[in-house]
Structure 1
Amino acid sequence: MRALRRFTVRASLPDALTPLSQLVMNLRWSWHPETRDLFEALDPELWASCGGDPVTVLGEVSAERLATLAKDRKFVRRLTDVVDDLDDYLAAPHWYQSLPDTAPKAIAYFSAEFGITEVLPQYSGGLGILAGDHLKAASDLGVPLIGVGLLYRAGYFSQGLSADGWQLEHYPALDPHGLPVKLLRRSDGSAVVVTVPLPEARTLHAHVWRAQVGRVSLLLLDTDIEENTPAERGVTDRLYGGDEDHRLRQEMLLGIGGVRALREYCSITGTPAPEVFHANEGHAGFQGVERIRELTETHGLSFNEALQAVRGGTVFTTHTPVPAGIDRFPRALIERYFAGFGVPVDRMLALGAEADPTKFNMAHMGLRLGQRANGVSQLHGDVSRGMFGDLWPGFDEPDVPISSITNGVHAPTWTARELVEMGTQSTSQGDPVDVDGPVWFDGVDRIPAGELWTARRMLRGRLVGEIRRRLRETALSRGASVAEVGWTDTAFDPDVLTIGFARRVPSYKRLTLMLRDPARLKALLLDPERPIQLVIAGKSHPADDGGKQLIQQIVKFADDPEIRHRIAFLPGYDIGMARYLYWGCDVWLNNPLRPLEACGTSGMKSALNGGLNLSIKDGWWDEWFDGQNGWAIPTADGIDDADRRDEIEARGIYDLISTQVLPRFYETDRDGVPTRWVEMVKHTLKNLGPKVLATRMVSDYVQQLYVPAAVSARNLAGDGYAVARTEANWRQHLLEHWGAVRVAHVEATGAGDTPEIGSTLDLRAEVELPGLSPADVEVQAAYGRVDDADGLHDVTTVPMQLETTEGSRHWFTATLPLERTGAFGYTVRVLPHSSNMADPAELGVVSVA
């Protein structure tokens, strides 16, 4: 028989130990070593057997053990100290509390997945881990963030391998009552239930679970409740599962239900209503549609007026470097689901319009709803401006209003404790987030090379022990007998150069590029003097058979008895496994097809632990590789033959390992320390460490996006949304007349027949603005280097000043400096102008001479 439901029965805590409940329900324990030490002390053997899960430990520790600890004055005093530390952390002012009053009082952060701890498996890969790190860093900085997501009853999936190396998926059922979450309840004790309308007069109901991530609350919506029919109960069954209809309902629940859950949460707790709404990818786009509906119903705004008010306070982050990664739904499906929602369906469909008139594009909706948008690395910003440039016709790619904020990672979560205690993240400059300009972890300079090398060897040895344990478990699960797995006891070596490769397994990440020349790879693995060892992990999407075939190729190669002690594919990649990999790998390998890696934060986590990156210059590595913090794999950009490109780039990997990586690692001084290698490790920790911090990332979001968005939102809401009404009417009027705007004539004087550097050029432009006034526009002179096709490059723009007006004809002037030699060109363009615009390209219209 199978159990109908599973739950955990906990021992009743003695009075002296009741604060343990407070500690276990705040996920700060996932990055706070002293709290984890305390839970380990409850039962060290149980702690080890459950993989360091405080929730499981507290649920399974015996009543007798608890009674003993309740009488242990040292343990109780230690418990009190940890609780006091948490209370101080939650109450004390942090960086954010020092900001001016323009900073938003609350920010809502929507994401389809959150990777905070393996105990709460609500993530599939980098997007979720990034979202989890965003919440943790916000907590550390005191940012008043509220996370909004879904509670998936089966998470993503647990990964196994068949005997022939094929990925197997298992979906363990999660009971929220056994997770570190609490049901959101009203003052009368009743559970909050939010609803989302569905077609055929049906309604989707959801409970709201609250996880506490330090100072940040995370609201997770759950449809597996009795108010729903069986079909609706399954909406939050799995992350990224189901057909289009299922995914649409999930995203409606995240966006629409998420806003409604926020309203309930703020009302119950007295939390200020969010002024800024941050959509982390297109999955969360419907939050903007729900807020438009709210404003039209509660304040009587038109759709256009509500759209302006919503846009001002919305931030949209794209993580997608390829069109195939965008959620697109059939237009007819959107029409069916939103027919009676409360907003004009034709206006809503226009938000998600794309080149294919039968499709509704969630990323396009996110960009049209968000007045501020960004990619997640400088290169990804460039890619995004090209990828979405059609939404701003007439503008060159550099002018497309998508900025970039490079991702970061939460150092307390991902850095080995031993390295932090050595001082690898200390700086004489003060708190890095308060420093203007470059920051260095100069505490590294005080660490002797031998001590740092000893720590790195210890961490490599810890990884080797974990690999051996997992190899044994995997072999047994694939059908091997106990008598056949003895080889795992000596697999891998704590003194061999260890290369890690772990990430999701879409084709562009090229999991099997390392197998391009199997004989050469085998020779590297088995070199008698300078061998390497490779540890590999990653999950393929359950529907991606191509990705599963790549995993199978790796597994079959690693199954070879001749090399299986030097290469391993470990199934079950999650946060718990990832820590060992980041701590212990000497080199982190990343070989995507450039420029298809939006950021690639796994290499950042390795760097914080002294790992050196061996990577294609894509994502964050493109901007922060400096020649001393690792190696850049030569790319074959521009070669259309994919097979030839793989051949060239794989050869680059082998050559770098053979000629640069191995010599540095194995050439040691008389004390056995590879001094040149340790120099690179120190350089990485000192110079790269501060850049990759999630606190740097979140402070960038606050200063560059959240504060300006809050200012815009407040302004547009002013005087009962009168500013939003005025702005919407102005935009409509401007767009109706824009077709007649033109630069009629431009004349240049002052430079003479042979212009010389240091001279100036005087421009005078005649601009026709029928139906508009000069205050409605900004006229700019654009100048720079010009190519043979008269294209402008390295463009500088300056505003032109109004000189005189005659009816609808206006004359503008500007003076251009001639500051460099060579071919020079200029033009004049007219852009809309409003103090409520975040960027002159925002409306997507421009008139160029």
Structure 2
Amino acid sequence: MKALRRFTVRAHLPQRLSALAALSTNLRWSWHGPTQDLFAELDPELWREVGQDPVRMLGEVPAARLDELAADDDYVARVEAADAGLRDYLTRPRWFQEQSGTDVAGIAYFSMEFGVTEVLPNYSGGLGILAGDHLKAASDLGLPLIGVGLLYRSGYFRQSLSADGWQLEHYPALDPQGLPLKLLTSEDGSPVLIHVGMPEGRVLRARVWIAQVGRIPLLLLDSDIAENDPELRAVTDRLYGGDQDHRIKQEILAGIGGVRAVRAYTHANGLPDPDVFHMNEGHAGFLGVERIREFVAAGLDFDTALAAVRAGTVFTTHTPVPAGIDRFPMSLVRRYFGGSEAESTLLPGLALDQILAFGREADPGVFNMANMGLRLAQRANGVSKLHGEVSRDMFASLWPGFDASEVPIGSVTNGVHAPTWAAREWLDKARELVGPELVEEARGWENLSDVDLGELWSTRQELRGVLIDEVRRRVRASWRQRGAAEAELGWVDSVFDPNVLTIGFARRVPTYKRLTLMLRDPDRLRALLLDPERPVQLVVAGKSHPADDGGKALIQQVVRFADDPAVRHRIVFLPDYDMSMARYLYWGCDVWLNNPLRPLEACGTSGMKSALNGGLNLSIRDGWWDEMFDGENGWSIPSADGVTDEVRRDDLEAAALYELVERTVAPRFYDRDERDVPVRWTEMVRHTLQTTSPQVLASRMVADYAQQYYGPAAAAFAKVSTDDFAGARALAEYRTRVDQAWPSVRVLQVDSSGLDIPVIGADLSLRARIDLAGLSPDDVTVEAVIGRVSPTDELTETTAFAMSLEGVTDGVHDFAITAPVPLSGAVGYTVRVLPRNALLASPAELGLVAVATG
């Protein structure tokens, strides 16, 4: 008979090994090798069978083995040392505590997925892995951060292949009791329940699980509890599953319920409430309206509450295309937030129309979650320099009248957590060179440049061998799942060659990532794989969204090619791509391939993880590679930007890819000295470790957020919240006054002089008469904008100069400036008026500008 439900019983540990319990439940073990070694030593074979999961390990290891090790003084001493090391890690002042001028009480970081460890499968791809690395680096650096998300009872999905290579999905049920989690409880020990209103008077309840990620608590809301009806219990069933109705319930729980979970957690632990709220994508955007509701309930009016919320909110966008944004029918949002235009049922004190206005876009029937995130955050960013540019252009309509370059969206290039993704061999070398403390904070990697080329190559060879063993194991397991008998799998033992150039390609499988670009010319790919002198072997992995049959067809195309007996020893598709597989790929691949349709890759961190291990990137210049490629850390695949015929573009870029591998990449790999070392290749490896690795670190990324976003956001919130929110009231009053007056603000007249000899650097004098419509000169900035002018009189390459007030005549203000002409050629100018207030983060923040019209 089958069990009705499964649950995990944890072992009763001997007193001398009691510290193993704390070591198993703090997820620092997921990036701390010595702690992993302690659990592996309990039973190495069992450790592999339980997927290197310490909680499962302690539940399944025989009690006799625990008693045996409890009598082993050496093992006990190492457990005690690891426990002391963890306590020191959790309490010692870190980088953040050593910074001056970074006064942040706390940061609440919201994301729909978190990829901390494969043991906690709460992620689907890059967004979740990035969020997990963000938490780990925040822990290493000592930031006072709280992570907030949902606990999905079936995670994303497990992937396998049918006999004909079609993706199959499986959703194993997860038991929170068997995961490294603990419940948030009240003083009496009962679980804290978060309540969120639903239509028809129903209430969605959720308990809160805490995953301790080093110093960082990750709060995960779980609706699968008896207090909910079956429909509401299923709200947190799967990541990115269900229809739009299901998804909006998830996002309401994540945003509104997430804020309430943060309040419950800080109250229970005597912590200050966060002064900075960070939305990692628009999924959790409803957190902003919940915070407005809190302030209104405390006595603030709506406009003052909005000013306070915006000051302390950061929004990060991860998508470079409108199709990647969550958009709901306006009618669906009306249904869930309920009530009338005068008041929302879900958020009493807020007008329904006020809430709907945050998500409005050009289509009046659509509610746009990214637009809401941008309207509720005073600071916003993309995730690479190029993505910042793309985002400014994509969202420019929210700031009408401004050039895309002036849209207030910056960028922080993503990073990856070195102790998680770097092979133990590289970490050990780094510890020898820079010491354990710097490695723990992911600093000092550039010193790996001191390692001898022969040693570097030996390490690369060793890691490639580890990958090949894993590839053979997974290929065998996959073929068995597809129905093959063990007797027909003898060929698997010769899959891949430890001495052959190994290229990796692994990621999610949306169309723009072009999984099958490598198959554009099958004969040419086959020739590369089977070249008798310079062969290549290719390992491919990735999951397609369960509803994306187009993506599944791409996977099937690769699988069918790789099934060919003529090439199956040189190309494999490995199903069920997750963190545990990814590590082997990053460790062992010589080259990391990425060929997205530029500029549709927001960042693309997989190549960063390869670089941490001395892998060389072979990529279209998109995302992070666009800014970090330097000519010596890999190769840039030429992109056919501007070619509108997609078929021809793919043909051109595939041909460029084949050409690079055939004529440049493979020859360099196989060009050996008398020691059989590819000197020029290994010099590129060393250069990558020295120059690229420090740039791609999550510690760099989180430090950038702390200094460029969290610190300024905390300072802005402090300014608006002191003296009973006097600053927020002043800013709200200013915004109301400016909004009312702005339609009548005009540049009435512009006169110029001083260009008798128009040469670069010559002085241009401008005078402008401005009708401020009752605003004070202190309320505005008047600028002369000089730049290159197109045949259609559009200004580019502009420089703005602030003009000075000269006087007032009959209520009209006169402004003037004399400025050097900054460039040559066809040059033009204009004059514009912008709002000015010390509490604004950017002159473009309010989306208001008055420009001279002639």
Instruction: Tell me what 2:843 maps to.
Output: 840
Query: Is contact 2:509–2:551 with CA below 8 Å preserved after alignment?
Result: yes
Instruction: Tell me what 1:790 maps to.
Output: 793
Give the alignment's TM-score, normalised by structure 2. Answer: 0.97
Q: Deviations over 1:586-632 (max 9, x none)?
A: 00000010000000000000001000000000000011111111111
What residue identity is the alignment partner of 2:415? G
**1:394 equivalent in alignment to 2:401:** yes
Relative to structure 1, the CA distance from residue 205 to residue 486 in structure 2 (aligned partners, 3 Å threshold; closer, same or farther) is same
**1:677 equivalent in alignment to 2:681:** yes
**1:315 equivalent in alignment to 2:319:** no
Alignment of 1:510-549 (within 5 A): 510-549=514-553
Match of 1:738 among 738, 742, 745: 742
**1:158 equivalent in alignment to 2:158:** yes
Query: Is contact 1:759–1:817 with CA below 8 Å preserved after alignment?
Result: yes
Shift of 1:51: 2.9
What residue identity is the alignment partner of 2:459? A
Match of 2:382 among 348, 352, 375: 375
Instruction: Tell me what 2:492 maps to.
Output: 488
| SS of the residue 1:423 aligns to | helix
| SS of the residue 2:122 aligns to | coil
Query: Is contact 2:207–2:222 with CA below 8 Å preserved after alignment?
Result: yes
Instruction: Tell me what 2:342 maps to.
Output: none
Instruction: Tell me what 2:779 maps to.
Output: 776
Shift of 1:756: 2.7
| SS of the residue 1:621 aligns to | helix
**1:656 equivalent in alignment to 2:656:** no
Return 764-773 or 100-109, whichever deviates more: 100-109
Match of 1:747 among 751, 755, 758: 751
**1:364 equivalent in alignment to 2:371:** yes
Alignment of 1:583-598 (within 5 A): 583-598=587-602
Instruction: Tell me what 1:122 maps to.
Output: 122
Relative to structure 1, the CA distance from residue 235 to residue 836 in structure 2 (aligned partners, 3 Å threshold; closer, same or farther) is same
Query: Is contact 1:209–1:219 with CA below 8 Å preserved after alignment?
Result: yes
Relative to structure 1, the CA distance from residue 807 to residue 102 in structure 2 (aligned partners, 3 Å threshold; closer, same or farther) is farther
Instruction: Tell me what 2:827 maps to.
Output: 824
Q: Deviations over 1:483-515 (max 9, x none)?
A: 011111111011100000000000000000100
Shift of 1:186: 1.2
Instruction: Tell me what 2:262 maps to.
Output: 262
Shift of 1:113: 0.2
Alpha-carbon distance in structure 2 between the residues aligned to 1:171 and 1:48: 22
Alpha-carbon distance in structure 2 between the residues aligned to 1:42 and 1:56: 12
Instruction: Tell me what 2:419 maps to.
Output: 412
Return 588-597 or 785-794, whichever deviates more: 785-794
What residue identity is the alignment partner of 1:310? V
Query: Is contact 2:430–2:439 with CA below 8 Å preserved after alignment?
Result: no
Instruction: Tell me what 2:818 maps to.
Output: 815
**1:459 equivalent in alignment to 2:463:** yes
Alpha-carbon distance in structure 2 between the residues aligned to 1:100 and 1:420: 30
Instruction: Tell me what 2:192 maps to.
Output: 192
Match of 1:422 among 419, 423, 429: 429
Alignment of 1:291-306 (within 5 A): 291-298=291-298, 300-306=299-305
Shift of 1:432: 10
Alpha-carbon distance in structure 2 between the residues aligned to 1:132 and 1:730: 40
Query: Is contact 1:424–1:685 with CA below 8 Å preserved after alignment?
Result: no
Alpha-carbon distance in structure 2 between the residues aligned to 1:813 and 1:710: 36
Q: Deviations over 1:707-754 (max 9, x none)?
A: 1111111111122122212211221111111011111112222332x2
Instruction: Tell me what 1:56 maps to.
Output: 56
Relative to structure 1, the CA distance from residue 784 to residue 199 in structure 2 (aligned partners, 3 Å threshold; closer, same or farther) is same
Match of 1:688 among 688, 692, 705: 692
Alignment of 1:26-37 (within 5 A): 26-37=26-37
Shift of 1:770: 1.3
Instruction: Tell me what 1:214 maps to.
Output: 214
Structure 1: unaligned runs, 5 residues or longer = none
Instruction: Tell me what 1:756 maps to.
Output: 759
Alignment of 1:708-723 (within 5 A): 708-723=712-727
Shift of 1:427: 6.5
Query: Is contact 2:619–2:625 with CA below 8 Å preserved after alignment?
Result: yes
Alpha-carbon distance in structure 2 between the residues aligned to 1:426 and 1:381: 36
Instruction: Tell me what 1:703 maps to.
Output: 707
Alpha-carbon distance in structure 2 between the residues aligned to 1:764 and 1:433: 58
Query: Is contact 2:10–2:55 with CA below 8 Å preserved after alignment?
Result: no
Alpha-carbon distance in structure 2 between the residues aligned to 1:105 and 1:722: 20
Shift of 1:785: 2.4
What residue identity is the alignment partner of 1:293? R
Shift of 1:784: 2.4
Instruction: Tell me what 2:132 maps to.
Output: 132
Shift of 1:55: 1.9
Instruction: Tell me what 2:341 maps to.
Output: none
Alpha-carbon distance in structure 2 between the residues aligned to 1:434 and 1:837: 34
Q: Deviations over 1:213-261 (max 9, x none)?
A: 0000000000001110011000000000011110000000000000001
Q: Deviations over 1:495-539 (max 9, x none)?
A: 100000000000000000100000010011111111000000000
Match of 2:650 among 639, 646, 649: 646
Alpha-carbon distance in structure 1 between the residues aligned to 2:438 and 2:49: 38
Structure 2: unaligned runs, 5 residues or longer = 339-344
Alpha-carbon distance in structure 2 between the residues aligned to 1:427 and 1:737: 60
The percent identity for this pair of structures is 63
Instruction: Tell me what 1:505 maps to.
Output: 509
What residue identity is the alignment partner of 2:337? F
Alpha-carbon distance in structure 2 between the residues aligned to 1:410 and 1:426: 19
Instruction: Tell me what 2:86 maps to.
Output: 86
Alpha-carbon distance in structure 1 between the residues aligned to 2:175 and 2:218: 17
Instruction: Tell me what 1:570 maps to.
Output: 574
Instruction: Tell me what 2:808 maps to.
Output: 805
Q: Deviations over 1:529-558 (max 9, x none)?
A: 110000000000000000000000000000
Relative to structure 1, the CA distance from residue 390 to residue 819 in structure 2 (aligned partners, 3 Å threshold; closer, same or farther) is closer
Alpha-carbon distance in structure 2 between the residues aligned to 1:756 and 1:665: 54
Aligned residues: 843
| SS of the residue 1:683 aligns to | helix
Shift of 1:442: 4.0
Alpha-carbon distance in structure 2 between the residues aligned to 1:281 and 1:264: 24
Shift of 1:421: 1.8
Instruction: Tell me what 1:627 maps to.
Output: 631
Query: Is contact 1:50–1:57 with CA below 8 Å preserved after alignment?
Result: yes
What residue identity is the alignment partner of 1:10? R
Instruction: Tell me what 1:334 maps to.
Output: 333
Query: Is contact 1:425–1:444 with CA below 8 Å preserved after alignment?
Result: no
Shift of 1:271: 1.3
Alpha-carbon distance in structure 2 between the residues aligned to 1:87 and 1:246: 41
Query: Is contact 2:422–2:587 with CA below 8 Å preserved after alignment?
Result: yes
Query: Is contact 1:433–1:699 with CA below 8 Å preserved after alignment?
Result: no
| SS of the residue 1:535 aligns to | strand
Relative to structure 1, the CA distance from residue 57 to residue 440 in structure 2 (aligned partners, 3 Å threshold; closer, same or farther) is closer
Alpha-carbon distance in structure 1 between the residues aligned to 2:16 and 2:440: 39
Alpha-carbon distance in structure 1 between the residues aligned to 2:408 and 2:449: 41
What residue identity is the alignment partner of 2:578? D
Instruction: Tell me what 1:65 maps to.
Output: 65
| SS of the residue 1:568 aligns to | strand
Alpha-carbon distance in structure 2 between the residues aligned to 1:360 and 1:265: 31
Instruction: Tell me what 1:472 maps to.
Output: 476
Shift of 1:788: 2.8
Relative to structure 1, the CA distance from residue 378 to residue 522 in structure 2 (aligned partners, 3 Å threshold; closer, same or farther) is same
Alpha-carbon distance in structure 1 between the residues aligned to 2:816 and 2:77: 75
What residue identity is the alignment partner of 2:627? E
